[in-house]
Amino acid sequence: MNNTTFSIHAPTYDSLTWQASFKFSFSDDAVFEETIFLQADGFDIRENMDEDILYALLQHLSIAVWVSYYKTSPANKIIIDHCKLHADQISFWKLFYTKWLGEFYYTNWLDPDILQEIIGTWEEYVKTCDMVFDNDRHLLPFGWGKDSFVTASLLQEESKDFTPFCFWKDYLIHKLWADALQKDRLLIKRSLDINKLKKTAEEWWYNGHVPITWIISFVSVMIAYLYNYSHIDFSNEKSANFGNTEYKWFTINHQWSKSLEFEDLFKQFVQQHISSSLVYASRLRWFYEIAIAKKFCESKKYLNTFSSCNKNFKITESCDDKRCNDCPKCAFVYTILRPYIDTDIVDSIRWEELYEKDSLLSTFEELRWIHWIKPLECVGTAHECQRSSFEFLKRNPKFSSKSTDVFIDKIRESQWSKYREDLELKLFS
Per run of 10 residues, the mean pLDDT along the chain (length 429 residues) is 82 94 85 94 92 93 88 89 90 87 90 88 84 91 85 94 91 74 91 84 74 90 96 95 88 92 93 90 94 88 75 48 81 92 75 88 84 80 88 87 83 53 51
* Distance, CA of 192 to CA of 320 (rounded, Å): 27
Single out the residue of 117, 91, 143, 377 nearest to residue 239, CA to CA: 377
Beta-bridge partner residues of 266: none
pLDDT given for residue 423 in this prediction = 53
- Give the CA distances from residue 247 to residues 109, 111, 321, in Å, rounded to whole numbers and listed in that order: 9, 10, 35
User: Domain check: are 223 and 107 in the same one?
Assistant: yes
Amino acid residing at 279: V
User: Domain check: are 273 and 343 in the same one?
Assistant: no
* Distance, CA of 319 to CA of 339 (rounded, Å): 25
Instruction: Give backbone dihedrals phi and psi of 369, rounded to 5 degrees, phi first.
Output: 60, 30
* Distance, CA of 343 to CA of 234 (rounded, Å): 31
Structural domain includes residue 424: yes
Handedness of CA 405, 289, 305, 392 (dihedral sign): positive
pLDDT given for residue 308 in this prediction = 73
Structural domain includes residue 363: yes
* Distance, CA of 404 to CA of 114 (rounded, Å): 44
Residue after which a domain boundary falls, among 228, 249, 282: 282
Structural domain includes residue 278: yes
CA atoms within 13 Å, Cβ hemisphere of 321: 12
* Distance, CA of 283 to CA of 153 (rounded, Å): 11
User: Domain check: are 19 and 90 in the same one?
Assistant: yes
pLDDT given for residue 61 in this prediction = 93
Structural domain includes residue 200: yes
Count of domains for the chain: 2
pLDDT given for residue 422 in this prediction = 56
Structural domain includes residue 147: no
User: Domain check: are 338 and 257 in the same one?
Assistant: no
Residue after which a domain boundary falls, among 229, 257, 282: 282
User: Domain check: are 259 and 196 in the same one?
Assistant: yes
Predicted model pTM? 0.90
* Distance, CA of 321 to CA of 247 (rounded, Å): 35
Count of CB atoms within 10 A of residue 253's CB? Answer: 24
User: Domain check: are 201 and 272 in the same one?
Assistant: yes
Structural domain includes residue 162: no
User: Domain check: are 115 and 212 in the same one?
Assistant: yes
DSSP 12: E
What residues make up the domain containing 380? 324-428
pLDDT given for residue 314 in this prediction = 52
Q: Cβ(410)–Cβ(397) under 8 Å?
A: no
User: Domain check: are 267 and 373 in the same one?
Assistant: no
User: Domain check: are 55 and 121 in the same one?
Assistant: yes
Residue after which a domain boundary falls, among 282, 301, 333: 282
pLDDT given for residue 288 in this prediction = 93
User: Domain check: are 106 and 247 in the same one?
Assistant: yes
Overall residue count recorded for the chain in this entry: 429
Cβ neighbors of 167 (< 8 A, separation 6 or more) are 141, 187, 188, 189, 190, 215, 216, 219
